[in-house]
Amino acid sequence: MDFAYSARVEELRAKLQAFMDAHVQPADAAWKHEVEAGRYPTALVDDLKAKAKAEGLWNLFLPALKPDEPGTRLTNLEYAPLAEIMGRIYWSSEVFNCNAPDTGNMEILHMFATPEQRERWLNPLLNGEIRSCVGITEPGVASSDPTNLQTTIIRDGDHYVVNGRKWWTTGALHPKVKFCIVMGLSDPRPEADPHKRHSMIIVPMDSPGLTVMRNLPLLNHYSIEGHTETDFTDVRVPAANLLGEEGAGFALAQARLGPGRIHHCMRTIGQCEVALELMVERALERKAFGRNLADYANVQDWIAEGRMEIDQARLLCLRAAWMMDKHGNKAARTEVSAIKVAATRLQTKIADRAMQVFGAGGLSNDTPLAFIYSWGRALRFIDGPDEVHLRTIARAEIKKRKESNRSTFAEQGVLRPWVKGAS
């Protein structure tokens, strides 16, 4: 065990931070200005992407890149501290082609795409030439259990026909978005195996019958790229667009979610650090009732709690990444659930305290805190609500005991007999 980052990671961290300081931070005001005016700042971002690619800071998230694919080839563990740095400025991940949901789509295409699909959809994504979106969640059902999904993807000759309503389709409004990966029922028979009834298919955004209905706000924040409600009415898609086999949807969804979840967590830790640093800076310069805020014991407690919580969350995140690298995404499932809950909760908590140190100004957009707070709250739903992840962790823990050969405390005589007793 060695808790220091490797030399390679330290080098990349320095390089990435330098890039952020030199290019991204200075563009932040312009980015926000465009977005507030309702325009996606395409030119600005394209320029930064070219620079990042030229410096070898590209597709840092994808461990499995092949020799002919552009990217940095990092493990999840190596990627984590870099994602943390990107997380500090919300929009910066795209600069390095590391933004959701394209990352998840690239992962899944990387694993399951046919050569034609790779050529047409994956390669432009890997090169940052196009954007994509994903349609899993539906308004009418508890979508954290994907076997509930009701959208249909029905074979009809050389095509599949898609019908249904999705929402929280992230990225559907981006000017370069070209396709949506949709998950739905390809086998609607109720008696079929519930984990084999769904499929995933690549739906071009310009398909007739695909309608972006509206952009959904997250606590009144409207993303310029969209979290949309999206309707599919008799959308005909070539059968060749199916991802993997018919009925493989559930398996693909599982494969997709592990890395996506942990990427959010890594970035969250960056946001938490920003909030904590803001709190400290403010506490050092603001006076109330004749004393500096940094001298008040309650503010000091908030600072200390924040430091302790962030450090613990970062370690949990790194360990989950290491588990994924070492034992695979499936083996790391409870670890990923754990960091998903711990990190996203933390973002709202630390931002909440920091806002309190800023006073009412902390509610406005004059600091990044209002956004960090709201986005943190939203993250408690994105990729699954807390309760689903807690349930996953608890069931694993219970199963561990059930399957263990170890004698129970009662059997060891640690408990008095009543505890074993009747019931």
Residues 158-177 that bind a copy of itself (CB under 8 A): 167-168
Rounded Cα distance, 419 and 423, in Å:
10
Contact 105, 181 (CB under 8 A): yes
Instruction: Specify the stretch interacting with a copy of itself by CB under 8 A; choose among 52-60, 121-129, 196-204, 321-329.
Output: 321-329
Quickly count helices (H) and strands (E) in the chain.
14, 10
What is the footprint of a copy of itself within residues 345-364 (CB under 8 A)? 352, 355-356, 358-364
> Judged by CB under 8 A, does residue 296 bind a copy of itself?
yes
Q: Which of these segments, 64-72, 111-119, 179-187, 384-392, binds a copy of itself (CB under 8 A)?
A: 384-392
- Site residue total, a copy of itself (CB under 8 A): 119
User: Which range binds a copy of itself by CB under 8 A, 153-161, 173-181, 248-256, 282-290?
Assistant: 282-290
Among 315, 328, 330, 331, binds a copy of itself (CB under 8 A): 315
Q: Taking the CB of residue 273, how many other CB atoms lie within 10 A of it?
A: 19
Binds a copy of itself (CB under 8 A): choice among 255, 280, 350, 354: 280
Under 8 Å between Cβ of 97 and 85: no
- Angle at CA of residue 238, ends 233 and 239, nearest 5°: 110
Question: Using omega within 30 degrees of 0 as the cis cutoff, is the peptide bond preceding 81 cis?
Answer: no
Comparison of 111 and 142: residue with beta carbon closer to a copy of itself? 142
Instruction: Give how far Cα 305 sits from Cα of 157, 258, 338, 339, 400, Å.
Output: 60, 28, 19, 18, 32
* Residue 419 near a copy of itself by CB under 8 A: yes
- Asked if 301 is part of the footprint of a copy of itself (rule: CB under 8 A), the reply reads yes
Out of 68, 158, 190, 289, name the contact with a copy of itself by CB under 8 A: 289
Q: How far is the CB of 23 from a copy of itself (least distance, A)?
A: 14
Which region, judged by CB under 8 A, interacts with a copy of itself, from 59-67, 125-133, 255-263, 274-282? 274-282
Q: How far is the CB of 166 from a copy of itself (least distance, A)?
A: 12
Q: Which of residues 76-115 bind a copy of itself (CB under 8 A)?
A: 77
Interface residue with a copy of itself among 14, 238, 300, 331 (CB under 8 A) is: 300
Q: How far is the CB of 245 from a copy of itself (least distance, A)?
A: 26
Among 99, 233, 112, smallest CA distance to 177 is for 99
Residue 50 to residue 72: CA distance in whole angstroms: 15
Site for a copy of itself in 48-77 (CB under 8 A): 77
- Asked if residue 307 binds a copy of itself (CB under 8 A), the reply is yes
Helix (H, G, I), strand (E, B) or coil at 375: helix
Residue located via tokens 């007793």: 421
Distance CA 61, CA 260 (A): 10
Q: How far is the CB of 66 from a copy of itself (least distance, A)?
A: 25
Residue window 108-147: x/- pattern of binding to a copy of itself, with contact defined by CB under 8 A: -----------------------------x-xxxxxxx--
Q: How far is the CB of 49 from a copy of itself (least distance, A)?
A: 22
124 token code pair:
């432009």
Please enumerate, as own/partner, the contacts of 24-29 that have beta carbons within 8 Å and a separation of 24 or more: 24/48, 24/89, 24/92, 24/95, 25/89, 28/89
The Cα 12–Cα 83 span in angstroms is 11
The answer to whether residue 319 forms part of the interface with a copy of itself (CB under 8 A) is yes
Given candidates 2, 106, 161, 201, which one binds a copy of itself under the rule CB under 8 A?
2
Give the other-Cβ count within 10 Å of 414's Cβ.
10
Part in contact with a copy of itself (CB under 8 A); list of ranges 201-209, 242-250, 260-268, 387-395:
387-395
Q: How far is the CB of 20 from a copy of itself (least distance, A)?
A: 11
Using CB under 8 A as the binding rule, the residues of this chain from 194 to 233 that contact a copy of itself are 216-221
d(CA 232, CA 359): 46
In angstroms, how far is CA 390 from the centroid of its own chain?
Answer: 17
Give the one residue of 299, 324, 336, 354 binding a copy of itself; rule: CB under 8 A: 299
Considering only residues 3 to 32 of the shown chain, the ones binding a copy of itself according to CB under 8 A are: 3-6, 25, 28-29
Instruction: Measure Cα distances from 329 to 66, 149, 213, 261, 337 in Å.
Output: 19, 23, 34, 11, 11
Q: Which is nearer to a copy of itself, 110 or 282 (CB)?
A: 282
402 binds a copy of itself (CB under 8 A): yes
Tell me the CB-side half-sphere exposure of residue 310, using CA atoms within 13 A.
24
